[in-house]
């Protein structure tokens, strides 16, 4: 297809043609562009061997799209990705339309709607999801209100928004939809996240110290539709990512963390009572003094983890991989350790009373068989 045809299609709003032109414009930076259009918002993924230069890429995007003058294109959501990495390193939303000029209402106006009070701290119904409003703009409004002193945003719909490195200590996000949000290095100490949906969220290096996440959903989320696959590649991650996150003293009781990536995360003194950690990846994570009583840790990977003084009372650890883990002083009273792997693990002063040791591999490589299960 010749350049004139591509240009014509791009001006009609064809995402593939737009991506082709933008890739050419960013060729000097080694950036490849993929795009899709959704409800007047152009979503653009910019991928390169190194992290794409945010300022330069956004300048090229804005200038190029303004020149194309695409009908009905209102906003642009740009994401910069390092090649081979599943999550964006940066994200920004900007508008291509000038903001409408509206008169400032006065209290004498019959249609005057006063701004929400900051003294009560309650969640304002005005911050609800408009189907035509890009999620990122809603997220930016949340940040503005937080800066003004508002703390209660319970039930807010922020799925797929980016709040990278935001400081939101003490925020209330009960029952909020934060699925597939990009929350890298965000600070949420003492946050109230009870019942929130964090399925598929990126919480790499986030700080959730003393947060209450009881009843949270952090399990994998399913991505459907070829448009999503085409935008960010076939290997779209669906698991919540807690890599190197700080969750000291966090309350995750009865939360679902199945298939979550928690490599090198800190769960010291966390409350994980009856929490689902099936197939959880906790390589080299720290759970010192954590409460995992009655938790489901089956098939979990805890290689090299620090599990000193963890309470696994009555927990399910079937086929749990604990190779090289430090379990000094851990409590396994009543736990099911069927086919668990303790190879090279430190079991100093552990409590194995009433524990089920059926086909369990011990630190020296020997296999323990519980006579109660012998045929």
Say if 42 falls within a structural domain: yes
The model's pTM: 0.66
Is residue 33 domain-resident? yes
Name the residue with higher pLDDT: 135 or 241. Answer: 241
Does 155 have pLDDT greater than 70? yes
Is 12 a domain residue?
A: yes
Residue 311 placed within a domain: no
More confident residue, 261 or 74: 261
Number of domains, the chain: 1
Burial of 103 (C-beta count, 10 Å sphere; 0-12/13-18/19+)? exposed
Contacts of 100 (CB under 8 A, 6+ apart): none
Q: Which pLDDT value is given to residue 200?
A: 87
**DSSP code string of 46-74:** EEESS---HHHHHHHHHHHHHHHT-TT--
User: In terms of DSSP bridges, do strands 41-48 and 75-82 run parallel, antiparallel, or are they unpaired?
Assistant: parallel
pLDDT tens for residues 274-291? 999 999 999 999 999 999
| Cβ(275)–Cβ(237) below 8 Å | no
The mean per-residue pLDDT over the stretch 44-69 comes to 90
Mean pLDDT, all residues of the chain? 84
Does the pLDDT value for residue 190 go beyond 60?
Answer: yes
Where does the pLDDT of residue 224 fall: very low under 50, low under 70, confident under 90, or very high at 90 and above? Answer: very low
What domain range includes position 34? 3-95
- Residue 162 above 70 pLDDT? yes
Per-residue pLDDT of 117-128, as tens digits, reads 333 333 344 455
Q: What is the pLDDT of residue 128?
A: 52
- Looking at residues 289-295, what average pLDDT do you find? 98
Give the separation between CA 34 and CA 12, rounded to whole angstroms.
17
Residue 346 domain-assigned (yes or no): no
Confidence of residue 32 (pLDDT cuts 50, 70, 90): very high
C-alpha of 329 from chain center:
32
Question: ∠ CA(218), CA(220), CA(221), 5° rounding?
Answer: 105
- For residues 93-109, give the mean pLDDT: 56
- Do the domain assignments include residue 13? yes
- pLDDT value at position 118? 38
Over residues 282-306, mean pLDDT: 98
- Is 56 domain-assigned? yes
> For residue 17, what pLDDT band results from cuts at 50, 70 and 90?
very high
Question: How far are the Cα atoms of 127, 160, 205, 245 from residue 262, in angstroms, in the given order?
Answer: 32, 20, 10, 8
Output Rg (C-alpha) for the chain, integer angstroms. Answer: 25
Does residue 316 contact residue 293 with C-beta atoms inside 8 Å? Answer: no
Helices and strands, counts by H and E, the chain: 5, 6
CATH number, position 38: 3.30.70
Query: Which one has a higher pLDDT value, 375 or 371?
Result: 371
> What's the whole-number mean pLDDT along residues 94-122?
49
Identify the weakest region by mean pLDDT among 1-5, 193-197, 208-212, 300-304: 1-5
Task: Give bridge partners of residue 41 from the DSSP assignment.
Answer: 38, 75
Mean pLDDT lowest among 25-34, 129-138, 225-234, 264-273:
225-234
Q: Is residue 210 part of a domain?
A: no
């Amino acid at each position: 297809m010749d350049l004139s045809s591509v240009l014509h299609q791009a001006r009609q709003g064809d995402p593939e043609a737009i991506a082709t032109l933008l890739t050419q414009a960013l060729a000097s930076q080694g950036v490849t562009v993929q795009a899709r259009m959704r409800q007047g918002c152009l979503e653009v993924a910019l991928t390169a061997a190194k992290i794409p230069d945010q300022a330069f890429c956004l300048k090229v995007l804005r200038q190029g799209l303004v020149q194309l003058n695409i009908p009905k294109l209102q906003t642009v959501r740009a994401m910069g990705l390092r090649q081979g990495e599943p999550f964006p390193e940066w994200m920004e939303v900007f508008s291509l339309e000038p903001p409408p000029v509206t008169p400032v209402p006065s209290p004498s106006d019959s249609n005057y709607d006063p701004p929400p009070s900051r003294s009560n701290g309650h969640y304002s119904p005005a911050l609800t999801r408009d189907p035509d409003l890009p999620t990122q703009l809603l997220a930016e409004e949340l940040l503005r209100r937080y800066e003004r002193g508002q703390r209660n945003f319970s039930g807010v719909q922020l799925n797929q928004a980016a709040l990278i490195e935001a400081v939101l200590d003490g925020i209330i996000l009960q029952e909020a939809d934060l699925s597939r949000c990009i929350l890298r290095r965000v600070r949420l100490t003492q946050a109230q996240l009870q019942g929130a949906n964090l399925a598929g969220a990126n919480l790499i290096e986030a700080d959730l110290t003393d947060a209450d996440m009881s009843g949270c959903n952090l399990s994998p989320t399913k991505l459907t539709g070829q448009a999503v696959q085409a935008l960010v590649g076939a290997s779209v991650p669906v698991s919540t990512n807690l890599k190197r996150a700080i969750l000291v003293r966090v309350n995750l009781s009865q939360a679902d963390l199945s298939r979550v990536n928690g490599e090198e995360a800190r769960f010291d003194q966390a409350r994980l009572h009856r929490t689902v950690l099936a197939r959880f990846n906790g390589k080299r994570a720290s759970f010192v003094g954590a409460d995992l009583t009655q938790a489901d840790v089956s098939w979990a990977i805890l290689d090299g983890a620090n599990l000193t003084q963890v309470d696994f009372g009555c927990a399910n650890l079937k086929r749990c991989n604990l190779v090289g883990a430090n379990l000094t002083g851990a409590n396994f009273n009543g736990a099911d350790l069927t086919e668990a792997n303790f190879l090279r693990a430190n079991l100093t002063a552990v409590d194995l009373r009433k524990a089920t040791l059926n086909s369990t591999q011990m630190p020296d490589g020997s296999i323990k068989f519980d006579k109660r299960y012998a045929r």
